[in-house]
Structure 1
Amino acid sequence: MNASPTTSSASSTHGIPGPPGTPGTEGEEALSPVERAVREAARAAKGAQPALARLHRDRKDAVLLAMAEALVDSAPQIVQANARDLEAADAAGMAAGLCDRLALTTERVGAIAQQLRDAAALPDPIGEVVQGSILRNGLELRQLRVPLGVIGMVYEARPNVTVDAAGLALKSGNAVVLRGGSAALHSNTALIEVLREVLAAHDLPVDLVVGIDEHGREGVDALMRARGLVDVLIPRGGAGLIQHVVTHSVVPVIETGTGNTHVFLDATADLDQAVDIITNAKTQRIGVCNALETLVVHRDVAERALPLVAAPLIEAGVTLHVDDAARAALSVEGPGARADASIVDATEEDWDTEYLSLDLAVKVVDDLDEALAHIRAHSTGHTESILTRDLVSQQRFLAEVDSAVVMANASTRFSDGGEFGFGAEIGISTQKLHARGPMGLTELTCGKWIVVGQGHVRP
């Protein structure tokens, strides 16, 4: 199949009318070419989605497994396409963390394929009875999980999201319209082509997975206006992208948040554990939303702990943005003591920064109360962790920190749908309606009430 991600094919459903009350083609002659193209892509996805309603779990899983196999087989071509994106990113001076997020290797393609296998192994949420009863009048009442419909994804420089979103959408009975950004244009095009070829080979509409990267930023704005064709929009990326979509979209939005992620090093923490956890949280992968961005340290342990914590971080190339108390603690003789370019004075802006780079803000506080106050003031509500052996402090932190994921004695890097056993994730929601935290299959569904009577009429 030679169709590009947004090109109509024999199995496309372009041009079909939407259901009553949704935008059709009337009046679209006055729209820009990009607006018409994006609406056509969304309309095609909407027309394709009902095909999944008739699909048994075994067949959906077979498609996901075939997609995984096809990605592995196509890894050389995918990596070659990705190299073009990386070359352009390097020429544009893209930050190291973003380049890391963009990069695909044969091993990473294999890991992306494994996410599809993991999703295939999960229970199918569609048709699950959430609740049910027989009313006193004999009516049978059930609430079932059903797909959201057409999901629009807007994200940046993350080709893995292309596959994760498509796989989770298909498993949960949804079609998906993908806009992965110009930085990953060639990578996303190659990945979507593989996925669509597998759909065609299994006699399914290829427009269950549609890409609109070629339409650029104007395409994003058009997608945000496709109310009635797109059921929900999920932005995943930097604060600017997310706020633009949340502010301007007329399509309902599930807001994923930036990750100004905190770790609080309590006075009672096991310092050997703390060094390993903090190093992992900051350096294991820097360009992701669950990477550590701000370390908050109890004053009673700062002089002893900070030199130990700083040593491996600085060795890994991390620049520490420190307050006065942290700088004083790091001047104490020890493995992390130094006064070089690796330690700089923090500004107020640092406490609110998601670096996505080898930078870490370090704040010293007097007690747990001050730590909680600092996190409340500067957290984006994504993920926070406490390192402590004091169960009272642990329980207070877990209860009082109002973030989507709150941890104790664990790296923030575990805040991830794959790590939580969801097979993959469509994103991490920091809002409080519909979904919060890593979103897997069930978060891509809603409820439908089924009522069965035997000639019942209401008196």
Structure 2
Amino acid sequence: RVPLGVIGIIYEARPNVTVDAAGLCIKSGNAAILRGGSEAIHCNRALAKLVTEGLTKAGLPLDAVQVVDTVDRAAVGTLITMPQYVDVIVPRGGKGLIARLIEEATVPMIKHLDGICHVYIDDKADLAKALPIAFNAKCHRYGTCNTMETLLVARSIAPAVLPQLAELYKTKEVELRADDEARAILAGYPHLAAALEEDWSTEYLAPILAVKVVAGIEEAMDHIDRYSSKHTEAIVTEDYSAALRFLREVDSASVMVNASTRFADGFEYGLGAEIGISNDKLHARGPVGLEGLTSLKYVVFGHGEVRS
């Protein structure tokens, strides 16, 4: 495998990306141009100095990692429209930033726009697994792209599981935006609202959860197909055939059985640090580590052979 080339990383407010991105690009043989947000410009400058010291001690080119030392937004516009110099752009930030880059960039991107992740509790679910999974997937951290935003529950198990989940969500004051059927089961929950159409396609990044009762796995997968951002979906079930069908037919970057969506992460997958997560199918998909920052080169050794 060979490096992609020059990778531009555009990110907001997270100076840890400076170190992660620099390390991954160096390790994979790529050069990196890092453009962080104005909120962390002083941290990024200090970290860039340390990276330069490391490059010097390792005998590597100092230009292998460069930090754009300006907070001028015009620098982003320039960086993403230089395909003759930059091979790939990796954005790390909010939906507004990534939407802008999708619209304006002429350089290929490894990206995801949002994380509308689902957990489906099947009628064959073990509640001892379903309760902690559905609680963790929503409440472990609210502001991450692998946080559950919609909970789907099979009709036959909903009366048993939803009240118990409500007791857990109540401890975190999670607002539940539920369809009519779920709302009837959850009557009396202090933070209950009627779900609107836009709730099914909203990444809240907050203690808000859309809840829907479905007939079964067929309706659950139809809902996911319509509203998912293709990031991460999970099924909770003890039915082996249902689990395999879910894995086979749900078209997302990460699909899980009996596990929290919060595991959709490069470090948790054993990739080490990640450069980002991709919802696309080309060139990389899911958490992107070292291998995702490389491509293939076919090498042929000949002895004078010609093709006939």
The residue aligned with 1:300 is 156
Do the aligned partners of residues 327 and 422 (structure 1) sit closer, same or farther apart at CA in structure 2, a change above 3 Å counting? Answer: same
Aligned length: 308
Do the aligned partners of residues 312 and 253 (structure 1) sit closer, same or farther apart at CA in structure 2, a change above 3 Å counting? Answer: same
Q: Following superposition of structure 1 onto structure 2, how do residues 130-149 of structure 1 map, counting pairs within 5 Å?
A: 145-149=1-5
Q: Following superposition of structure 1 onto structure 2, how do residues 284-363 of structure 1 map, counting pairs within 5 Å?
A: 284-331=140-187, 338-340=188-190, 342-363=191-212
State the alpha-carbon separation in 2 of the partners of residues 398 and 455 from structure 1.
48
RMSD: 1.7
Q: Is the partner of 1:185 in helix, strand or coil?
A: helix
State the alpha-carbon separation in 2 of the partners of residues 216 and 413 from structure 1.
34
The residue aligned with 1:250 is 106
Q: Is the partner of 1:320 in helix, strand or coil?
A: strand
State the alpha-carbon separation in 1 of the partners of residues 255 and 306 from structure 2.
50
Do the aligned partners of residues 307 and 458 (structure 1) sit closer, same or farther apart at CA in structure 2, a change above 3 Å counting? Answer: closer
- Unaligned 5+ runs, structure 2: none
User: Which structure dedicates a bigger proportion of its chain to helix?
Assistant: 1
Query: What letter corresponds to residue 267 of structure 2 in structure 1?
Result: G
Within the candidate set 71, 74, 93, 1:215 is matched to: 71
Partners of 2:99 and 2:113 within 8 A in 1: no
Partners of 1:257 and 1:381 within 8 A in 2: no
Query: What letter corresponds to residue 350 of structure 1 in structure 2?
Result: D
Partners of 2:41 and 2:71 within 8 A in 1: no
State the alpha-carbon separation in 1 of the partners of residues 163 and 48 from structure 2.
48
Question: What does the per-residue CA deviation read over 1:365-407, in whole Å, with 9 as the maximum and x for residues that have no partner?
Answer: 1221111111111100000000111122212211111001100
Partners of 1:382 and 1:405 within 8 A in 2: yes
Q: Is the partner of 1:215 in helix, strand or coil?
A: coil
Query: What letter corresponds to residue 72 of structure 2 in structure 1?
Result: G
Q: Following superposition of structure 1 onto structure 2, how do residues 64-83 of structure 1 map, counting pairs within 5 Å?
A: none
State the alpha-carbon separation in 1 of the partners of residues 212 and 279 from structure 2.
24
- Rg larger in 1 or in 2? 1
Q: Is the partner of 1:227 in helix, strand or coil?
A: coil
Q: Is the partner of 1:450 in helix, strand or coil?
A: coil
The residue aligned with 2:131 is 275
Q: Is the partner of 2:296 in helix, strand or coil?
A: strand
State the alpha-carbon separation in 1 of the partners of residues 307 and 194 from structure 2.
72
Question: What does the per-residue CA deviation read over 1:142-161, in whole Å, with 9 as the maximum and x for residues that have no partner?
Answer: xxx11111101122223222
Do the aligned partners of residues 273 and 428 (structure 1) sit closer, same or farther apart at CA in structure 2, a change above 3 Å counting? Answer: same
TM-score (norm 2): 0.94
TM-score (norm 1): 0.64
State the alpha-carbon separation in 1 of the partners of residues 306 and 159 from structure 2.
76
State the alpha-carbon separation in 2 of the partners of residues 404 and 438 from structure 1.
8
Within the candidate set 164, 172, 177, 2:33 is matched to: 177
The residue aligned with 1:262 is 118
Query: What letter corresponds to residue 153 of structure 2 in structure 1?
Result: V
Partners of 1:423 and 1:440 within 8 A in 2: yes
State the alpha-carbon separation in 1 of the partners of residues 54 and 304 from structure 2.
46
Do the aligned partners of residues 221 and 307 (structure 1) sit closer, same or farther apart at CA in structure 2, a change above 3 Å counting? Answer: same
State the alpha-carbon separation in 1 of the partners of residues 107 and 162 from structure 2.
47
Task: Decide which moves more: 204-213 or 400-409.
Answer: 204-213
